[in-house]
């Protein structure tokens, strides 16, 4: 294994560990042990835990962007969006690149360097979807809103990634009636105020 390959292997392990444990709870010892290297060797590659975290952010974002464009293939518009969404839903789950994104946003709140990186990576994903699909900003905003909701439900209810969930049809409002859960998209009970009342007699 070359030095470049070993570095990428270490960063891939870091994505998984940070995704599960978060920036502050993760130790460089844990990353080094799971990657099969010593902690001194890890610090030959990176000068700090934050540097490892930033490298993990680069890799997680690149993987997500590559997965979206590969799934879309030669399609564009709604067809490309649906294909990319299916690919991204398969990447949601404990230790996944999208679980890492949640940890990236959490760490960004208290660290201006990480915050700048998180904003840059968000822009990369937005531009990837925009250039691949050619869809307008409102459609992109709805799409990213769906993905954030999928990620949130998985973070709150760890379980199998919702890979089998079918994205909502274009033009169909994404409401609590079709909210995705950690087990996929399922019907949710309508709020009491939205339930039809029996006709007055």
Q: Specify whether the CB–CB gap between 172 and 146 falls below 8 A.
A: no
Residue 168: the pLDDT is 46
Residue 152: the pLDDT is 78
Residue 129: the pLDDT is 97
Which pLDDT tens digit goes with each residue over 152-201? 777 676 554 444 444 444 444 433 333 343 334 443 343 444 444 455 54
Residue 106: pLDDT above 70?
yes
Which pLDDT tens digit goes with each residue over 10-46? 999 999 999 999 999 999 999 999 999 999 999 999 9
Residue 94: the pLDDT is 76
Q: Chain-wide mean pLDDT for the chain?
A: 82
Single pTM value for the model: 0.75
Give the integer Cα–Cα distance in Å for 93 and 159: 7
In terms of C-beta distances under 8 Å and separation of at least 24 residues, what long-range contacts does 75-83 make, across chains too?
76/132, 76/133, 76/134, 77/133, 77/134, 77/135, 78/133, 78/135, 78/170, 80/132, 80/133, 80/134, 81/129, 81/133, 81/135, 81/139, 81/143, 81/167, 82/167
CA 18 from chain centre, in angstroms, equals 13
Q: What's the burial of 193, exposed, middle or buried (CB within 10 Å: 0-12/13-18/19+)?
A: exposed
Residue 157: the pLDDT is 63
What is the rounded average pLDDT of the residues 137-142?
96
Which pLDDT tens digit goes with each residue over 65-80? 999 999 999 999 999 9
Residue 180: the pLDDT is 40
Give the integer Cα–Cα distance in Å for 102 and 44: 28
Better-predicted residue by pLDDT, 199 or 92 = 92
Q: Specify whether the CB–CB gap between 25 and 17 falls below 8 A.
A: no
Residue 158: the pLDDT is 53
What is the rounded average pLDDT of the residues 104-132?
95
Better-predicted residue by pLDDT, 89 or 154 = 89
Encoding tokens for residue 76? Answer: 């564009």
Where do runs of H (alpha helix) occur along the chain? 3-21, 28-35, 39-45, 49-72, 77-89, 97-108, 112-133, 137-156
């Amino acid at each position: 294994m070359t030095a470049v390959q070993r570095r990428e292997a270490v960063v891939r392990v870091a994505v998984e560990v940070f995704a599960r444990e978060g920036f502050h709870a993760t130790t460089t010892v844990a990353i080094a042990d799971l990657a099969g290297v010593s902690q001194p060797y890890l610090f030959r590659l990176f000068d700090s835990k934050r540097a490892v975290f930033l490298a993990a952010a680069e890799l997680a974002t690149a993987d997500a962007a590559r997965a979206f464009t590969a799934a879309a293939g030669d399609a564009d518009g709604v067809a490309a969006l649906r294909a990319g969404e299916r690919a991204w839903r398969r990447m949601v789950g404990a230790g996944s690149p999208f679980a890492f994104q949640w940890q990236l946003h959490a760490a960004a709140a208290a660290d201006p360097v990480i915050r700048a990186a998180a904003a840059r990576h968000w822009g990369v994903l937005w531009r990837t979807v925009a250039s691949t699909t050619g869809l307008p900003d409102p459609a992109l905003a709805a799409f990213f809103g769906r993905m954030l909701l999928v990620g949130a439900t998985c973070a709150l209810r760890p379980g199998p990634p919702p890979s089998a969930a079918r994205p909502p049809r274009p033009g169909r409002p994404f409401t609590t009636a079709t909210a995705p859960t950690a087990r996929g998209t399922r019907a949710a009970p309508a709020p009491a105020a939205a339930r039809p009342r029996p006709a007055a007699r």
